[in-house]
Structure 1
Amino acid sequence: MGVLTNKIEREDLKPGDHIYSYRLAYTYSHHGIYVDAGNVIHFTRGEGQETGTGTVLDRFIGSSLPQQCPLDDPCSICDDQSKGDGVISSCIDCFLSGGDLYLYEYDVTRKFFLAKPRGGTCTLASSESPDQVIHRAFYFLRKGFGVYDVIKNNCEDFALCCKTGLRVIPTVGQSGQASSFQAAASAGGVILSATVSMARSSILGVAGLAASCGTYCVKRYINDIGVRRDVMNVVLEEET
């Protein structure tokens, strides 16, 4: 793994790993916690449920659920999960839905974080022990993780909470993927202006593009859960 890719092989997976796979031609990624023996716990929203962002994202982000198992017939382990909703457990084949496997990185340096061209791949926050991570994942499998929201409470937020025990106060979203979308939207106007400037003056155009890239990186950085201070430790209720 490195700056350009977090791709790994299945045999390198360890219990408690935060994994993800891209959907819709790399438009967005779906995240989960690898438990053991090929099982993944992840947070989904039901088929056909509106994303409700009120933005262009609604056109591109489909259900985080696998549209179908890689096999023609329903999975012998998971059956048909297309109408599942909330925190569910799947075999790794159904989780990946035919995509490649990637490992989310924790406790990265600021330099490494900023060098990553795309959010939703790493964080400056530290992971807790695998036992703690798996315990939280199973707890949320039983108790739920609230209502799925593509910006405020998504699959990456779920995996981050399992790994770190942290959530943002109030819940406004902490995932790198959502932050990247929002940062890109903010920088979009600057990029458009820079493109026009490049047609008129190469110096002004380059300066404008540099400014837009800087805006994008800074917004990603300040929204990372490893940097934010508006976070709380999630206390799991004792079960009787």
Structure 2
Amino acid sequence: MGWFSNRIDRQNLKPGDHIYTWRTAYIYAHHGIYVGDDTVIHFTRHGQEVGTGTVLDSLLIKKGPARSYVPCSTCDITGGDNGVISTCLNCFLAGGVLCLFEYGVSSAHFLAQPRGGTCTFAPSDPDEEVVHRAKYLLENGFGGYNLFKSNCEHFANYCKTGLLVVNRGTIGQSGQAESIIRGPLVAMVQTAALRLAATNVFGMAATYVGLYCANRYASDIGITKNVVKVRVEELTQGLATGLLQLAEPQVPATHQ
């Protein structure tokens, strides 16, 4: 792997790895936790990998991931009642390329990525703890799926770190959603406000890129101040009762 490619060979995978694969011409990525024995645990909207439950879905993904393989006979890719499912690696990839999400990266590495949802400043917890969280959530659920506030990337980030970005009691936005939706929109609005001050198209482009990168940087789980550490047992109990028992905010992870 390098700064511009997070591809990884299957033989280099280990239990506890956060993996992802791009779907439908790189429009979005699907994330999960590899738990060993050719098995991945991932979060869906009752088997649907991306969606809002509204008419917006027809604009996002009309037909879902283009599957260029024959699903195996043992995996249930339609999803369980709680949305957290376990499938083989082939069914998770659905013919896509295997990539590894990176933790504890430097600022230079983070900003070199053209898209969000590929790495974070936050460090990972030990692999055995990551696998425990994923298997526990497979049995107990991760709450309701929400494309912007509780999606497959949030699930994998939580399994790896035990951290949740919380804003007024709701789980915060993922790097992928930030990159695709909020980041560009915020940058476009801010850039439009500065158009009169821009002297040429190159200046406007530089302003846009700068604002976009700054927004991605500030919203990362390893940087934002709205981060709390939540035990997986407390998380599922809180989701069941509607009351999350959250710990005190953690100090943002240090980075190079």
Structure 1 residues 137-216: aligned runs within 5 Å: 137-169=134-166, 170-181=169-180, 182-189=182-189, 203-216=199-212
Structure 1 residues 1-240: aligned runs within 5 Å: 1-46=1-46, 51-52=52-53, 59-61=59-61, 70-71=69-70, 74-78=71-75, 80-82=76-78, 84=80, 86-169=83-166, 170-181=169-180, 182-189=182-189, 203-237=199-233
Instruction: Supply the distance in 2 between the matched residues of 1:183 and 1:101 (Cα, whole angstroms).
Output: 25
Compute the displacement of 1:47 (Å): 5.6
Change (3 A) 1:237 1:190: closer
Aligned residues: 229
Compute the displacement of 1:37 (Å): 1.1
Compute the displacement of 1:54 (Å): 7.8
Change (3 A) 1:53 1:4: farther
Instruction: Supply the distance in 2 between the matched residues of 1:58 and 1:218 (Cα, whole angstroms).
Output: 31
Compute the displacement of 1:137 (Å): 0.2
Deviations 1:125-168 (A, max 9, x none): 00000000000000100110011111000000000000000011
Compute the displacement of 1:189 (Å): 4.4
Cα contact 1:30–1:156 (8 A) shared by 2: yes
Compute the displacement of 1:171 (Å): 2.4
Letter paired with 1:180: S
Instruction: Supply the distance in 1 between the matched residues of 2:226 and 2:58 (Cα, whole angstroms).
Output: 27
RMSD over aligned Cα, in angstroms?
Answer: 2.8
Structure 2: tracts of 5 or more residues without a match? 237-256
Cα contact 2:44–2:145 (8 A) shared by 1: yes
SS at match of 1:160: helix
What is the TM-score when the length of structure 2 is the normalising length? 0.80
Change (3 A) 1:50 1:28: closer
| Identity score, percent | 49
Of 170-179 and 218-227, the range deviating more from structure 2: 170-179
